[in-house]
A = this chain, B = another copy of it.
């Protein structure tokens, strides 16, 4: 059966494309949050009307995005969460917490500089990788049982 993979977290590099390319030819279906930053921030007010307060502006957008995000996590077999070099990225950690509580297989992807700060998230994961290529290799191994090289 198709392996369903949700690619959560950082949206400013092309790590998703790298993983998807690395899994070419395999029976997998990838999903992701909306990665158009502007659309993601403004979707709520763009469709449902403007808000004076920044809090409610963001609130309407975050809730609309949650329809997509939660569905993707709930339907996924594997949730990959990527922490990049910048920003707070609390939504990434939040997604990881949801994935863990729902019993999803969690893979965390981050650089060594975040190791200590992410130790609780890593502790809930079935794998911790540093490079997208490793994630693709793992997904391939999970489906086909063959190691790279």
Q: Which residues of A contact B (CB under 8 A)?
A: 1, 3-4, 29, 34-36, 39-40, 42-44, 46-48, 52-56, 58-71, 75, 77-78, 83, 87-103, 105, 107, 114-124, 126-129, 134, 137-138, 141-143, 145-149
- A94 lies within 8 A of B97 (CB): yes
Closest to A95 in B: B97
- A43 lies within 8 A of B147 (CB): yes
Q: How many copies does the complex hold?
A: 8
The prevalent SS among residues of A at the interface is helix
Decide: A48 near B134, CB < 8 A? Known: A62-B119, A66-B124. Answer: yes
- B137 lies within 8 A of A47 (CB): yes
